[in-house]
Amino acid sequence: MHAQKKKLVLIGNGMAGVRAVEHLLKLAPGKYDITIFGSEPHPNYNRILLSSVLAGGASMSDIVINDWDWYKENGIALHTGDPVTKIDTTSKTVESKKGLKLAYDELIIATGSNPFMLPLPGADKEGVIAFRDIQDCEKMIDASQKYKKAVVIGGGLLGLEAARGLLHLGMDVHVVHIHHYLMERQLDEAAAKMLQRELEAQGMKFLLQKNTASIKGKRRASGLVFSDGSEVDGDLVVMAVGIKPNVELARAAGIEVNRGIVVNDFLQTSEPGVYAVGECAEHRGIAYGLVAPLYEQGAVLAKHLAGAETDGYHGSVTSTKLKVSGVDVFSAGRFDETPQTRSLKMQDDMSGTYKKLVIQDGKLVGAVLFGDTSEGSELFSIIRKGESVEGREKELLLGFSPSQAGGGASKESRLLAMPDDEIICGCNGVSKGTIADAITSKGCNTVGAIKSCTKASASCGGCKPLVEGLLQIYSENAGEPVKEGICGCTTLSRDEIVAEIKRMELMNIYEVMNVLGWSNPEGCSKCRPSLNYYLGMLYPDQYVDEKESRITNERYHANIQKDGTFSVVPRIYGGVTSPEELKKIAEIAVKYEVPLVKFTGGQRLDLLGVKKEDLPKMWEDLDMPSGHAYGKTLRTVKTCVGNTFCRFGTQDSMGMGIKLEKAFERLNTPAKVKLAVSGCPRNCAEASIKDFGVIAIDGGWELHVGGNGGVHVRATDVIGVVKTEDEVMEWASAFLQLYREEAIWNERTAQWIERVGLDYVKQKLEKQEDRLALKERIEHTLSLTTDPWKQIVENKELRKNFEPLPATQPATL
């Protein structure tokens, strides 16, 4: 007979609690019936990456750690959007908001923390929010569409991440901080000042040593008033001043609470069978807010619940390695200077790097790195071990060398010397031992495979060099260059895949995956769309596009919004329209009760809030080409009025823009492509941050390539100067086709040019016969395309796909 499973209930579906469950499932599979209650309507996601969602660098699906299927596969009953409201430790039951009552044998409280909201006059006004979860991100995104000025209270990590995201959303952002420099908990003053300069260059504005007295405004916030009488305007106020452990549920149950829920070395609370882990727990007087300590707690708790041997949790020496708005920073230990410490510093303002080491009693007790954080893990290891560094302090400052005792002669020897429990990936709490085991026991011989198996390097990517180093040590291919495929399903690169498709004339996605030995026969969300693109690019005449391998937006030819409705953008060539066209769009917006009509940055009209079932009929009524605002294709060609009206214009930029847009609409590309044409060097159409930009000069056109105005701004490179419009079309065609044929799927032209080099692109386009051959290939591909909405309007079977979204479908960012 099988022993009856114990009932384990986890309150909180966050990172710390679910990590404990992950460990428990590995150590004691089948020992517990597990139920998880979460307050949010989402599966377990990485809260660290919320700033990436806000900045547009990630979607909700990108930051999910364990998807819905993971819970089903592991037999876990998950109740989302249903927080526990009562714990009865006498009857050993919990009750949820929706009225569910459940018994437990073991209970884990992982309620995390709440954002600290300053009790200011006016804090209850509309437009005053925290930055803690997906819902806060949604509020910020909504506010950015209606308002332009934001104020962030708090110059710590969270505040700066919020500010960066709001800046990306097009808002004017002020950061208010009570201290005289930023991030004082993670950086010293010198590093903080360097960071401030970098962020000011990105557009952030700072108000330091300011104490907020009240939030002004009537019903909605309109700014802040400071204690010195000065003010700042802002329609959105984000409080990012810290967090406090969420302990009310435990306190109401009679569980001992101090600042957090008091736990011992085995994460046990004052009540038998009740444990606490994560930001809500207080261990030896400390409540931790960083991921690595919380994951260490989870590992100990899992061992204890599994009956495995553990000497308990003894606290953590913390380190912070992160990227703040594109800038690498690292700190560990105690980096403040006292009479008992000595410090060594090295600062290079030209290269934007800074390094500070703090020594006490011959030991390294703290470090701060700015700009170059590659030595962070090694320094942190020395701090944790408490080893003597006497006699080699300057060598540590100048960089690791063979003469360092214990430092090792190489990165390889230093990695070998690391203990197995040393955390390599701080974002996901993955240790050296876990990665080594994945390589030696599970056959993970690429960075992508390790990422899929352990989640190491899956978040910020800062630990990727260390993961590659471990691959070099433990892989069967040790000593060979680390090879990373396009995803975890294959070790093959883009060039290798394309070459094999051509060599063996492989004609469909499943054939490619089967013949080329995919580890996952079904592929994944990264490789299937890329293979679909490569096959279509190589065989435009024969390959049939596989719709199910495209992302949601491309399948429905519209941008899905967070509430499940869609955004429709008809094409308006070069931003030039007519009264008749405007009238038609207005009438259709009224007919389909469109909630919001917005001018886009690409000089078009966006109809937002359209129901899925209305899409085919709406396009039929519009009878306009799709603006492809959703796909990896030509999005827009932005133009100024040029010499048609402007007194500074030297050429017809509107005519040139319309010509380019009509030539390349419907063109499938590795990533989205944006063009612009400016009628004079004043560059009002911002052609110098587009994938292909054209700027009129006296007697000709200056051609620009590889620009990007998104999260990672990149100015264009000038690829040449031509005299005629036909030459512009020739170069544009050749450049775009070269990019189509040689770039990696999902790689923007900016990234592609940085990877292959501008000289390479110039060389490929130098000869006219090569340009004309590329032009011929792109024109042939375009001749085979039709507007997707024409197909859907005319095909009854395709129209059946446009049924209403299920009411229960979670909102998608």
411 vs 188: CA distance, rounded Å: 27
Going by C-alpha positions, the residue among 98, 312, 125 that lies closest to residue 235 is 125
Instruction: Name the strand (E) or helix (H) holding 333.
Output: strand 327-333
Contacts of 603 (CB under 8 A, 6+ apart): 572, 574, 575, 636, 638, 639
Q: How far is CA 8 from CA 91, 199, 275, 309, in A?
A: 15, 46, 11, 20
Q: How far is CA 620 from CA 195, 331, 552, in A?
A: 52, 58, 21
452 vs 273: CA distance, rounded Å: 34
Any binding-site annotation on 684?
A: yes
812 vs 59: CA distance, rounded Å: 8
Any binding-site annotation on 487?
A: no
CB atoms near residue 263 (< 10 Å): 25
Cβ(334)–Cβ(56) below 8 Å: no
Any binding-site annotation on 463?
A: no
Instruction: Check the CA dihedral 256-43-453-76 and report its sign.
Output: positive
96 vs 654: CA distance, rounded Å: 61
For residue 250 the two structure tokens come to 């435990």
Dihedral (C-alpha) 250, 252, 253, 257: value to the nearest 10 degrees?
A: 40
Classify residue 154 by its DSSP letter.
-
Backbone conformation region of residue 177, classed left if phi is above 0, alpha if psi is from -120 to 50, else beta: beta
For residue 555 the two structure tokens come to 């399948």
For residue 293 the two structure tokens come to 């300590």
Strands (E), 104-247: 106-109, 113-115, 128-130, 149-153, 172-177, 205-208, 212-217, 221-226, 231-233, 236-239, 243-245
Q: For tokens 């042939």, name the residue.
A: 780
User: The sheet that has 353-360: what strands, in order across it?
Assistant: 319-324, 327-333, 363-370, 353-360, 342-348
Contacts of 111 (CB under 8 A, 6+ apart): 11, 12, 246, 247, 249, 250, 278, 280
For residue 812 the two structure tokens come to 């998608």
Cβ(673)–Cβ(633) below 8 Å: yes
Going by C-alpha positions, the residue among 43, 42, 37 that lies closest to residue 249 is 37
B/e letters for 626-665, b = 16+ CB within 10 Å, e = fewer, are bbbbbbbbbbbbbbbbbbeeeeebbbbbbbbbbbbbebbb
Q: 3-class SS at 121?
A: coil
CB atoms near residue 388 (< 10 Å): 14
User: The sheet that has 128-130: what strands, in order across it?
Assistant: 128-130, 236-239, 149-153, 172-177, 205-208
742 vs 538: CA distance, rounded Å: 11
Cβ(389)–Cβ(363) below 8 Å: yes
Q: Can you say which residues are annotated as belonging to the binding site for siroheme?
A: 684
Binding-site sequence positions: 640, 646, 680, 684
Tell me the binding residues for [4Fe-4S] cluster: 640, 646, 680, 684
